[in-house]
Amino acid sequence: MQGDELAAAVIAGDRRALARAITRVESARADHRAEAVALVAAARAAGRQALRIGLSGTPGVGKSTFIESFGMMLVEQGLRVAVLAVDPSSARSGGSILGDKTRMERLSREPAAFIRPSPSQAQMGGVARRTREAVALCEAAGFDVVLVETVGVGQSETVVAEICDLFILLLAPAGGDELQGVKRGIMEMADMILVNKADGDLKPAALRTRADYAGALHLLRRRPQDPEGFPKAVCVSAVEQSGMAEAWADMQALAVWRKREGHWSARRAHQARHWFAEEVRQGLLAVLEREPAKGSMAALGREVEAGHLSPEAAAARMLGLLGRA
Ligand code: GDP
């Protein structure tokens, strides 16, 4: 299928075409890139927007269970839901395979849902681009909500926050009364904290954890893009499916407020600019791998290490090579 034909099929809501289009943007081959860029541009021209929700949490907090439960609720409300994953490690260990369909059994059988597991790609730049383009393709295909799942390991969260409209942190109840070592940077990115597993014996701990985080969020910040009451920490149970409707109502309220106040479009505009600069940066790094610069980064690095060249002089020489590439 030609690129524009494929884009048209994606826009028409053909799920197989969507899967194929995502495979195209995932291709690492340089000669596929121009085609992928054209494909995404054609898809974006449809002018559709989904609510993009980033969801992060360490392995075991219940991301798959939550997405299954939350996604089913949205589907039952008549919404179309896409699930994508950003896996920062190609090593899929620890039992946490992101976007694994077998762990979202009901949702994966729903015609109104589309689940795409993460490709095994180690390089963060590639993963970020692929995810951004896959999100754009899902939007063009008419999905109302695009959930982007990631594990809590720093860099991937920053990427997801720069792709999504809302960033949600999923936590499990803590044993003690200390915060669970969640990095300040991640707390600062979170629009909502959902404390999962607020059921059975874990409920009291979940309530305590929620209160701790609500306090921490309150102390930490009030950003211009937060209405009164946000960022928020609430309890949910993915297993009992409790708190789901309330969490969704909060997310919608936040989205509506941000749209009305102009923060929504400002955030997307800022993100577009960020990714433009990032693409240029990645492109420049790729140039360094080509002649006549090839190998020079490593060679000059050794010279700097040996004390034969200053870092600045070596960098100037490197950039000089770039000019001729
Ligand atoms: P992920 O690694 O973050 O995707 O976590 P999973 O969704 O695989 O869940 C990890 C474990 O936590 C599983 O044994 C789930 O059954 C359990 N779990 C998930 N959500 C809940 C919940 O709401 N309540 C309780 N009690 N257990 C849960």
- Give the number of the atom of ligand 1 that is nearest the alpha carbon of residue 240: 23
Residue 325 confidence class, pLDDT cut points 50, 70, 90: low
Task: Name all domains of the chain by residue range, CATH numbers in brackets.
Answer: 1-47 (1.20.5.170), 48-261 (3.40.50.300), 276-323 (no CATH)
Helices (H), the chain: 3-11, 15-26, 30-44, 63-76, 105-109, 124-140, 155-161, 184-189, 203-220, 244-261, 263-288, 296-305, 311-324
Output the pTM of the full model: 0.89
Ligand 1 atom 5, closest CA: 62
Residue 72 corresponds to which tokens in the numbers above? 């089913």
pLDDT of residue 241: 95
The closest alpha carbon to 197, from 176, 170, 179, belongs to 170
Ligand 1 mean position, distance from CA 123 (Å): 28
Q: How far, in Å, CA of 258 to CA of 27, rounded?
A: 35
Q: In percent, how much of the chain has pLDDT > 90?
A: 59
What is the per-residue pLDDT across 274-312, written as a single tens digit (0 to 9) for each? 999 998 988 888 888 887 778 888 899 999 999 999 999
Kindly report the number of other CB atoms within 10 A of residue 319's CB atom: 12
| Average confidence (pLDDT) over 224-238 | 91
To test the ligand 1 pocket, which listed residue (65, 73, 235) has its Cβ within 8 A of the most ligand atoms?
A: 65
Kindly report the number of other CB atoms within 10 A of residue 278's CB atom: 16
- Give the number of the atom of ligand 1 that is nearest the alpha carbon of residue 95: 2
Q: How far, in Å, CA of 89 to CA of 271, rounded?
A: 24
Ligand 1 and 56: CB distance under 6 A: no
Ligand 1 and 169: CB distance under 6 A: no
Ligand 1 mean position, distance from CA 296 (Å): 48
| Residue burial 13-41, b: 16+ Cβ < 10 Å; e: rest | eeeebbeebbebbbeeeeeeeebbeebbe
pLDDT of residue 88: 63
